[in-house]
Amino acid sequence: MAKVILKKKIDASTSALSDVKSYARKIWLAGLGAYAKVGQEGADYFQELVKAGQAVETKGKKAVAEKLEAANSEIAEAKNEVSSFKGRVEVQLDKVEKAFDSRVASALNRIGIPSKHDVETLSVKLDELTALLERVARKS
């Protein structure tokens, strides 16, 4: 009878040891499965992140290009406006300068100072008189 009891205890401990080994193996396999699944899902997730990053980069480049185009367009418009304004200012300055010259010449003429045109006219007449005197002097 002692042998039967001892055999039952050994069978029970062997069965418990077998159950522990079975559970340990299942835990090990579950760990390996989790590692494999995380590795695969992690790689897939990484690829999704790369794709999302590429999409954001493309949108960002497009937005920057659009903003740059708009800024260049505004700069071109401003240049055209400045050029147009500059031309009008130059025309107005020319008018002011001519009016100023006319008034200064008029004021100088009133006080008896000859204008440049008057001096040039007198110079031409003086040259003609000098030439005439030289001809008369040669004939005599």
Q: How far is CA 122 from CA 29, 127, 129, in A?
A: 121, 9, 10
Q: Check: pTM over 0.85? Answer yes or no.
A: no
Supply the pLDDT for residue 12. Answer: 58
Q: Is residue 50's pLDDT more than 70?
A: yes
Q: What percent of the chain has pLDDT over 90?
A: 29
Which tokens hold the place of 128? 């003609």
As a whole number of Å, the CA-based R_g of the chain is 55
The whole-angstrom separation of Cα 1 and Cα 139 is 180
Helix (H) or strand (E) holding 102: helix 2-110
What are the pLDDT digits (tens) for 87-102? 888 888 899 999 988 8
More confident residue, 45 or 124: 124
- Let me know: does 108 contact 115? Beta carbons within 8 Å: yes
Instruction: Calculate mean pLDDT across residues 4-20.
Output: 64
pLDDT of residue 6: 52
Residue 13's pLDDT is what? 62
User: Which residue has better confidence, 137 or 42?
Assistant: 137
Q: Please say if the pLDDT value at position 23 is more than 90.
A: no
Mean of all residue pLDDT scores within the chain:
84
**Cα-flanking dihedrals φ and ψ of residue 67, to 5°?**
-65, -40
